[in-house]
Structure 1
Amino acid sequence: MADIFEATRPDDYLMRLAASDLGRGYKAMVTAELALADGHTVVDVGCGPGADLLAFSAAVGADGLVVGIDHDVDAVEAARERVAGTRNVTVRTGDAHELDLDAGSVDRAHTDRVLQHVADPGRAVDEIARVLRPGGRAVLAEPDWGTLAIDGPDRATTHAYQAYVVEEVVRNAWTGRQLPALAARSGLSVRRVVPVTAVFRDVGEADAVLGLGRVARRAREAGYLDPDAYERWVAHLTTAVFFASVTLFVVVADR
């Protein structure tokens, strides 16, 4: 494996992505779409290490409240450390399928690349709709891995790699395209769907976001790529002119 590829996903992956040009760009757009105001209560479902909590805190002011919820104990601890001393933010462990919040108790709800991983995205969106007040807003951002485009060495190898990503790597790989229907079935009114397409022309930059190297290795181990196809894939990505892209969809929906 070429040294350009990361061997494992780094512990700071989520924060590193949030700090990248790509992350800053779409997160700023998402925050604007939330239309946060002084005094709002906002819940960040699947807050992870808290990449968005401080921005939300500043937007809702001292009279507002930001609630971060995540099922991962380590992520919750990291988020608490990040917002330590911020009086209008609370972070706790919880399940996206069963939020520990009263019905109609929040003004805004947010998810970012969370529903692609949960056991039941529809139930999680139902919970978001339940806790939103009438007139409240949810902004949900999810990639659609069916849109993954990589200029590989040949069509068959590229299709095999893409199939592994969609079938094995991401639990709900098509969540991006399903979000509008999920929101509508939960009783939300979809106002906008905004596509955000990330384009990569540097293999190292793409690997830092997409995990190209480690995913290719797992695809070989799972039998999606035979050894020869794997070697062609790695050689092409590290020597040819590089191109990859994937689209994330931001759904803005009101209660």
Structure 2
Amino acid sequence: MSTTLGAPRPDQASYMLRAAAAEAGRAYKARLIERLDLAPGQTVLDAGCGPGTDLPALAERVGEAGAVIGVDRDPRMLARARERTAGLRAVELCEGDVHALPVASGAVDRAKTDRVLMHVADPAAALSELHRVTRPGALVALAEPDWDTLVVDSDDLDTSRAFTRYTTGYAVRNATIGRSLPRLAAAAGFRVEDVTATTPVFRDFADADHTLGLGRNLQQAITEGHIDEVRGRRWFGGLSQGPFFASFTLVTVIAVRPTAGGRLSRP
């Protein structure tokens, strides 16, 4: 793994799998799936399933009588997902966009998105699609970071703050989607049941560089004139020399598609 300033972006599927396998990734993913309250025989949608990180766990919980639908727009991601789910009869993979899900209206009992809405063109439209494909009483789980809360410890606090501003303003499409999740979910017609904020902590520089894109995003910020090159290189070099700390806030929302009587039903 490279920790070189401006190193090429890693293969996206490998990046997502590595991030999910890290301690912080395992912890919040386990909580997210647990909160879906899955039961045998249910149909669950993973919208933006990527390389299929969560599909085996979902399939295990709904059993052979249930169904797991994984949707992603990237054929390369779906190819990796097929490898991970080979032999799991409950899993169906579909190429499609979260703005126009290839799923029938009212077809799913549970749905999730995980670090997907920060990348899409219209998060509100994507949530409206989740509302369309879920049946009354369905439970949805949403998880997104708020990159405006990214903190990187350094003696050069100004450059750390400049890096966060660049990440929020330029590097990530919807960088503050985490804080907006409850509002957007309610606007899409869901009843928000729970909102949780957790703080993944990085103490290993190489892991943080991989997950947070420290080197590659810093180089882009320098190239675009947002951070002075000499100061940026000194900041990046200093991060790898001593004890390291970085963190950000991850927001998880659990919501329900209301029934006519406003109660949660189980299929």
Q: Fold conserved (TM > 0.5)?
A: yes
Q: Secondary structure at the match of 1:115?
A: coil
Mapped pair 1:187 → 2:193: no
AA of the residue aligned to 2:226: Y
- CA positional deviation for 1:177: 0.3
- CA positional deviation for 1:157: 1.4
CA RMSD of aligned residues (A): 1.3
Distance 1:5 1:91 in 2: 36
Q: Unaligned regions of 5+ residues in structure 2, if any?
A: 258-267
1:52 pairs with one of 51, 54, 60: 54
Give runs of aligned pairs for residues 156-175 of structure 1, distance below 5 A.
156-175=158-177
* Alignment correspondent of 1:107: 109
- CA positional deviation for 1:156: 2.4
- CA positional deviation for 1:78: 1.2
Mapped pair 1:144 → 2:153: no
Distance 2:202 2:50 in 1: 25
Distance 1:215 1:240 in 2: 21
Distance 2:8 2:25 in 1: 20
- Write out the 4+ residue segments of structure 1 that deviate beyond 4 Å after TM superposition: none
* Alignment correspondent of 1:32: 34
Q: Unaligned regions of 5+ residues in structure 1, if any?
A: none
Q: Which piece of structure 1 moves more, 228-237 or 87-96?
A: 228-237
Distance 1:185 1:204 in 2: 39
Q: Deviations over 1:188-242 (max 9, x none)?
A: 0111111121111221221121121111111111111111221221132122432
Q: Secondary structure at the match of 1:135?
A: strand
Q: Which piece of structure 1 moves more, 44-53 or 216-225?
A: 216-225
Q: Which piece of structure 1 moves more, 211-220 or 153-162?
A: 153-162
Give runs of aligned pairs for residues 75-154 of structure 1, distance below 5 A.
75-154=77-156
Q: Secondary structure at the match of 1:104?
A: coil
Q: 8 Å contact 1:5–1:204 — kept in the other structure?
A: no
AA of the residue aligned to 1:104: G
AA of the residue aligned to 2:203: R
Q: Which piece of structure 1 moves more, 10-19 or 53-62?
A: 10-19
Q: Secondary structure at the match of 2:38?
A: coil
Q: Which piece of structure 1 moves more, 11-20 or 133-142?
A: 11-20
- CA positional deviation for 1:4: 3.6
Q: Secondary structure at the match of 2:58?
A: helix
Q: Which piece of structure 1 moves more, 55-64 or 194-203?
A: 194-203
- CA positional deviation for 1:35: 0.5
**Paired residues, number:** 253
2:254 pairs with one of 247, 252, 255: 252
Distance 2:126 2:212 in 1: 25
Distance 2:133 2:231 in 1: 49
Q: 8 Å contact 1:142–1:176 — kept in the other structure?
A: yes
Q: 8 Å contact 2:139–2:256 — kept in the other structure?
A: yes
* Alignment correspondent of 2:8: 8
AA of the residue aligned to 2:100: E
- CA positional deviation for 1:254: 0.5
Q: 8 Å contact 2:151–2:161 — kept in the other structure?
A: no
Q: Secondary structure at the match of 2:131?
A: helix
1:234 pairs with one of 230, 233, 236: 236
Identity %: 49
Distance 2:66 2:50 in 1: 21
- CA positional deviation for 1:5: 4.1
Q: Secondary structure at the match of 1:239?
A: coil
Q: Secondary structure at the match of 1:225?
A: coil
AA of the residue aligned to 2:129: E
Q: 8 Å contact 1:144–1:248 — kept in the other structure?
A: yes
- CA positional deviation for 1:47: 0.3
